[in-house]
Amino acid sequence: MAAKSLGDLDWKTLLTQSFHPPPVAWEDQVLYFLLPDRFSDGSERDYLDIAGNPVTTGATPKFDRSKDFGNAIQTPGDAQKWSDAGGVFVGGKLTGITSKLGYLRRMGVTAIWVGPIFKQVAFQETYHGYGVQSFLDVDPHFGTAADLQTLVKTAHANGIYVILDIILNHTGDVFSYGNGDPNWSGTVYPVQGFNDSKGNASLPFGPIDLSKSPTAFPDGAVWPKEFQDSSIFTRKGAIRNWDYDPEYREGDFFDLKDIDLGLAVPDSYEPTPALDALCEVYKFWIAFADVDGYRIDTVKHMGDGPTRYFASVIHEFAESLGKENLLLVGEVTGGRVKAFDTVETTGIDAALGIDDVQDKLEYLIKGYRNPLDYFDLFRNSLQMQKDSHVWFRNKVVTMIDDHDQIRKGNNKARFCANDQGDKLILSAIALNLCTLGIPCVYYGSEQAFDGAGGNDRYIREAIFGGAFGAFRSRNRHCFDEGNTIYKELGKIAKIRGREIALRRGRQYLRQISGDGMNFGFPFILGSRMRSLVAWSRLFVDEEILLAVNTDPDGSTASWVTIDNGLHQAGDKLSCLYSTDNTQIGTTLSAENRNGKAVRVSVPAGGFVMYK
């Protein structure tokens, strides 16, 4: 496609087509986040295609834990090569994602959040996609714009929505400062020029005249041309204090260049030419590819004014196409109050809970957070000035792992990397899927990936293998539908889709008791909590009782309080799901204890569900 300007794209002719409607309720969906470079290159064999038929013609065999675990790090030299491979493009493609839609559908995924696919600067290995050089083209590492259309169309045909990860706050490293790499000080620094395809500042810092700089397109400067005016960028150097305003709004993300989006105050906000151009860019991708939503990167660094303006423009545009519930999810750091305030102030649909929610969800299951710490995230709060806690039902995207793990500093690692996470991962996924919010699974969690090492790259393993495969392997893919975690996740997701209480119901952490007389909420006793943790989802006059066991080594049984008004002594609750198949279909009898209670037993590191 490679358009030089917004005017080059006659995309308004696309508006006459029919568009796929987004879902009525996003909390009904199960999201799955993937990085295009790390998901699939389409060359695997011994997996099942979209229709469920075996594929035997590819080059990459399936991972065999007994002999492939660590096959890439047998010598120090090999280990270094494997680690280095994780810092560059490894070969995932949009066509590869399309080929694995059956894998995702059978797991219960109903929407995929696809990491940024836009063209990156040519002289860097920004495989993650956050260093955009051309907003109107797909990076050739991932494929073509036509491949994106095919992915979305095929996903829709298979009951899967598509959300694209987008960037408004910054571009890639598209220009060089006049004197090194300055830090933010509040002043505008001189710029040497736009960078060419080699990373040299050989291009004028202003609108590019291709008759004078014929090599600038497509790999030099920034495109479309609407982003080439020097006033588009703040030009104030790199952020050092990530919590100081205006530094965190005006400064560069390391070498990613900050776009001037204007003042942060919403009520007096006037859009900058840059934001108007970005609105046109992302209107185009909705019209062109029929995507169902956007995850907006670094919303904190944009400011509420620009975010509100963008949300208004994009929502109105989507509604004009019949996409009435197009999802806008903002990446918001700063805890639940900041996330809530941002959603309420800007009109985005939901916040991605990348610190509070993920921290408490992970460490509740591992026994290092009191359950109330997690469940109180969803309760009403005077600080939020809300009379009900149910806003979190569809206003936050919840995850265990993600590709950044900002909250962990230099100790980045997947859930399964430590604290017996490999024995607790299923209960963590179950807690994520069956509590309030829009649940999202980070790619590879369904295969118990264990990335560790402190650096971002180690939590971004290539599920298709290649030079940076999971479990320190090389050239072995992990699309294993026989994996226990994968299969059980699919069962839980299926029940979730069938039971409205699990998707839209109120939520209550339940008191438990060992002796049936003294009830209270579970809490950390000593260094780590080994306990049954139970909660209910209530919808109208229906209650579903759920429980996890934070002890990875032994089963746990407790009396669990249930809703006193909905149950009579002797009422039966039937087991809909258990990690111990022998429990499914068995019943519990309600007794007059702490109002009403039932005796629940949960397998080691397990999960049960009763109705």
341 CB-near residues (< 8 Å, 6+ apart): none
The answer on pLDDT for 193 being more than 80 is yes
Which range has the worst mean pLDDT, 104-118, 202-216, 385-399? Answer: 385-399
The answer on pLDDT for 305 being more than 80 is yes
Average pLDDT value for residue range 470-476: 98
Q: List, for residues 563-589, the tens digit of each pLDDT value.
A: 999 999 999 999 999 999 999 999 999
Average pLDDT value for residue range 19-32: 98
Name the nearest CA neighbour of 307 among 336, 341, 355, 256.
341
Average pLDDT value for residue range 392-404: 89
Answer whether 506's CB lies under 8 Å from 539's CB.
Answer: yes
Q: How long is the chain?
A: 611
The answer on pLDDT for 542 being more than 60 is yes
Distance (Å, rounded) from C-alpha 232 to C-alpha 235? 9
Domain residue ranges in the chain: 6-169+261-497, 505-610
The answer on pLDDT for 387 being more than 70 is no
Name the nearest CA neighbour of 160 among 35, 22, 348, 337.
22
The pLDDT value recorded for residue 383 is 43
| Angle between helix 145-157 and helix 273-289 axes, rounded to 10 deg | 60
Q: What is the mean pLDDT of the chain?
A: 95
CATH class of 6-169+261-497: alpha beta
pLDDT bracket for residue 335 (50, 70, 90): low
Distance (Å, rounded) from C-alpha 600 to C-alpha 535? 12
Please name every residue paired with 132 in a beta bridge, in sequence order, or none if there are none. Answer: 120
The pLDDT value recorded for residue 477 is 98
The answer on pLDDT for 337 being more than 90 is no
Give the DSSP H/E element, type plus range, for residue 341: helix 335-346
Q: List, for residues 496-533, the tens digit of each pLDDT value.
A: 999 999 999 999 999 999 999 999 999 999 999 999 99
Distance (Å, rounded) from C-alpha 554 to C-alpha 565? 33
56 CB-near residues (< 8 Å, 6+ apart): 45, 46
| Angle between helix 421-433 and helix 484-498 axes, rounded to 10 deg | 20
Distance (Å, rounded) from C-alpha 60 to C-alpha 46? 8
Answer whether 97's CB lies under 8 Å from 112's CB.
Answer: yes
Backbone angles phi, psi at 203, to 5 degrees: -105, 145
N-term to C-term CA, the chain: 53
Q: List, for residues 196-216, the tens digit of each pLDDT value.
A: 999 999 999 999 999 999 999
Encoded tokens for 320: 């004009």
The answer on pLDDT for 367 being more than 70 is yes
What SS3 class is residue 141?
Answer: coil
The pLDDT value recorded for residue 353 is 67
Answer whether 510's CB lies under 8 Å from 519's CB.
Answer: no
Give the DSSP H/E element, type plus range, for residue 589: strand 587-589
CATH class of 505-610: mainly beta
The pLDDT value recorded for residue 427 is 98
The answer on pLDDT for 166 being more than 70 is yes
Q: What is the largest CA-CA distance in the chain?
A: 86
Q: Say if 6-169+261-497 and 505-610 have the same CATH topology.
A: no
